[in-house]
Structure 1
């Protein structure tokens, strides 16, 4: 994300100010935040977005964020572009560590190209950087929503318009070159 990115749904928690080392927080996006997130994720709407999170700090400074997230969203059907409502439910689970810096994380997809499968798996299991003891829980929930929603929403009764052919139909309409050769051979034999 660009350095000047401002999250639409931001709920900052300062982990170094937590009194007990463990807090339960309920966060919910308001109407404006949901509208802005819907624009970012190219959705028709987000009608609700809520998470009940437990933020727990370990003695080594690492912070675990865990809890259920739910949302009511409306996307466009991939076949008809009609609105498709969806209930999204997922469990947020992220480990943040002050021992990992943002420089340790890849900054663009090109950084991942030459990594082995083992290196990619290690990267996936690596904690997120905890910068200045602050975590934006709203952005964490927004990212989980983006990953959990159906990437190819489709209405139950959606069919492709008649003007669009499937690949098989298009192949059936193409003349078969071998059939054409057989016809030509037959015509030549009749002339003899």
Structure 2
């Protein structure tokens, strides 16, 4: 799906936690910007740590990015600094710790409970994919350039329906 990938295998965690710094090059940032419908992505860097968790992995990250968007008010491009972090747990397919699929049944959600773990389709974990996914969640869907104001003033000439009828009567209609 993503043009930028950084894969590790679940089996790599047998030796302990793995930490990497991810920073895509200019070409990858341009592809990510296009994927996220941004004008540009001048900077993206994340520090990702993957630890063993049950029979899967726990992925934690802190990231910073500079995104370029179009202001919804002035239509001018502008840049915004984004800082974020996330924690995701993932387990292999067929794991007893994977969330149960409820086929057609009702799903009860506890908003205070931690998210269920992601189910991996293979032994590979795409760390860059998780980073881009969580960057997308932090981007303002209604960007507004700092200081931009929307000043809409409706036509002040509000007439009551009776005033309109009186004017029509006076005009000889």
Query: Which interval holds the TM-score relative to the shorter structure?
Result: 0.7 to 0.9
The alpha carbon displacement at 1:20 in A equals 2.0
Task: State the match for 1:82 in structure 2.
Answer: 76
1:180 to 156, 164, 168: 164
Q: Which has the higher helix share?
A: 1
- Residue ranges of structure 1 left out of the alignment (5+ in a row): 188-192
The 8 Å contact of residues 38 and 44 in structure 1, kept in 2 or not, is answered as yes
Report the equivalent of 1:145. Answer: 135
Q: For 1:3-61, what per-residue CA distance to the aligned partner results, in whole angstroms no more than 9, with x for missing partners?
A: xx3x1111111121234231111111111110011111111110111110110012x31
- Between the aligned partners of 2:114 and 2:70, the Cα distance in structure 1 is 30
TM-score, normalised to structure 2's length? 0.80
Aligned position for 1:15: 10
Q: Is the 8 A contact 1:84 1:153 kept in 2?
A: no
CA deviations 1:71-127 (Å, max 9, x no partner) are: 0111000111101210111002111012238x9499xxxx9xx956x3485998211
Structure 2 residue ranges without an equivalent (≥5) = none
State the secondary structure of the residue aligned to 1:169: coil
